[in-house]
Amino acid sequence: MHPSIRRLLPLLQAPRCGAKTRSGAPCQSPAVNGKSRCRMHGGSKGSGAPKGNRNGSYRHGLFTCEAVEDRRLVRAMLSEFRASVGMIQQGQF
């Protein structure tokens, strides 16, 4: 057996990750020792999303329930305003 094949053989025989990629196909990267996923899909220590709300989703408050509801109300008021302005311009007041 060729020396380079002998070095690559454990890597080729390693269990594969199997997590679905964005294309829908299995990942096929070698799984981390003792895990069923590769280092990219949760096999390594510290992988995955941060715990709690440390990813900045609340830092600016743009997507809080109150802010979303406020924007919804403003859109509704604007559409009513545009409809009434259109009626005034057509002389249907």
**Helix, strand, or coil here: 16?**
strand
- Which tens digits make up the pLDDT trace of 30-86? 888 888 888 888 767 766 666 666 655 556 778 889 999 999 999 999 999 999 999
Per DSSP, helices labelled H in 1-93 are 3-13, 65-90
Backbone φ and ψ for 65, nearest 5 degrees, come out as -60, -40
Confidence (pLDDT) at 67: 92
Confidence (pLDDT) at 9: 82
**Helix, strand, or coil here: 20?**
strand
Domain ranges of the chain: 7-45, 57-93
| Cβ-based neighbours of 55, under 8 Å, separated by 6 or more | 49
